[in-house]
Amino acid sequence: MNVDETENHHSSIGLIFDCDGTLADTMPLHFIAWRDALGKHDLAFDENRFYSMAGQPTVKIIRTLLDEQSRTGDAEAIARQKELAFLNVLPQVQPIKPVVEIARRYRATNRMGVGSGSDRDVVLKVLNHIGLDSFFDAVVGAEDTAHHKPEPDVFLEVAKRIKIRPEQCRVYEDADLGIEAARRAGMSWFDVRTIHTPRRIT
């Protein structure tokens, strides 16, 4: 589907947006924050792997890396360091304009929500920074579901909160795990990577 086809939406369609890399151009800045935080603990995490794991909670990614690299560490503490490093560069975050335009266009007519693998507090700070904090009927973060992308729980929870049946929802996503989550939720989806390519750091 191209962006123009969203003109065919009617008000019974629920629109669900991922945040990082979908509404906000945060992924390069998240990677820099990851590199800074993990470097202090001598943990390797290359940029391709970073993108392949997009949509998973920070703590879950750290636990995976610790396990794979046979290291011990306090995953929660490292996660806090990573999120703090990201919040320090939050003023640099820009909106992804074509996706934000979709949200603007349907704000008055359609119920909309955000479903993210990031902590809800961080998502709310990003939405506030790019001026979208009042746009959504629900914001669901990592702490709001037991299972995370590619499991469908996050998007199903958004659908429940915006009171739209899953099959009547369209998801906007920039990551393979998120698109798989939308598919498992029985929702249609739009791959934001077809209209936006994030800047690479390495």
Phi, psi of 160 (to 5 degrees): -65, -45
Residue 6: helix, strand or coil by DSSP?
Answer: helix
18 catalytic residue (yes or no): yes
Backbone CA torsion sign across 156, 162, 166, 172: negative
Q: Which of 4, 18, 67, 121 is catalytic?
A: 18
Strand pairing report for 188-191 and 169-173: parallel
Q: Which of 131, 127, 96 is nearest to 113 (CA)?
A: 127
Other CB atoms within 10 Å distance of the CB of residue 184: 16
- Residue 134 tokens read as 């009042």
Q: Which residues are catalytic?
A: 18
